[in-house]
Amino acid sequence: MISDAKQPQQVQAQPERGSGKAPVPIWLFILLFLLLYWGMVYFDLRGGWFDPRVYAPYHTFAQVETWQPVSGAAGLFSQGKAVYNKPTCVACHQADGNGVPNLNPPLVGSEWVNEPEPGRVIRIALNGLTGPITVKNQPFNGNMVPWKDTLTDDEIAAVLTYIRQNREWGNHAPEVTPERVKAVREKLKSRSTPFTPDELKQIPASD
């Protein structure tokens, strides 16, 4: 018997529409990975934290070597280079040691720097210098500030050793020891004024 009742039609389920958010492209994940990988490599090479020889507050092994140098003139020279390249010295005498014309005298080949005995140059570093000075037959009239309250005996000895033994600057004078700086500092403990070039010439360099 054929029934006239209409059979309910089966309605196929329609796929639900998306929420409207596009899928994240895979290339974005790759780019993010590459950026993270590059950051880790950069930090590894330049941060120094993965080097067992580096510890706080240092960031590279070069800094460890600079501030914990070997004993002797080589160590003083290395530490002195670091002291010099702070604003302490380099701001006036420049990175190449040639100073500023008519203002700050050069350290390169300077007769004041290359004296066999460092008594005068130690006094300049400790108490400063004022008044016109002639270096390598050239006049200069800048003032040098005193560093006795800023730099230790070790730091002054180191930076003077770096300056006096810098072969690239044509200097070949003997090293300056912290003990020598300490002895000169003791002689100047009651003095608060800078030296003049004429005054320094009256003081034996060996003093």
Here the tokens at position 120 are: 């005068």
Mark whether 52 and 136 lie in a shared domain.
no
Mark whether 90 and 115 lie in a shared domain.
yes
Structural domain that includes position 92: 70-201
Mark whether 182 and 87 lie in a shared domain.
yes
Domain-terminating residue out of 35, 68, 101: 68
Mark whether 33 and 90 lie in a shared domain.
no
**Confidence bin at 172 (pLDDT 50/70/90):** very high
Percent of the chain topping pLDDT 90: 59
**pTM of the predicted protein model:** 0.65
Mark whether 77 and 64 lie in a shared domain.
no
Q: How far apart are CA 120 and CA 126, in angstroms?
A: 10
pLDDT digits (tens, 9 = 90+) for 101-141: 989 999 999 999 999 999 999 999 999 999 999 999 999 99
Mark whether 51 and 109 lie in a shared domain.
no
**What would the 3-class secondary structure string for 70-130 be?**
CCCHHHHHHHHHHHHCCCCCHHHHCCCCCCECCCECCCCCCCCCCCCCCHHHHHHHHHCEC
Residue at 20 is within a domain: no
Mark whether 165 and 181 lie in a shared domain.
yes
Mark whether 39 and 115 lie in a shared domain.
no
Residue at 95 is within a domain: yes
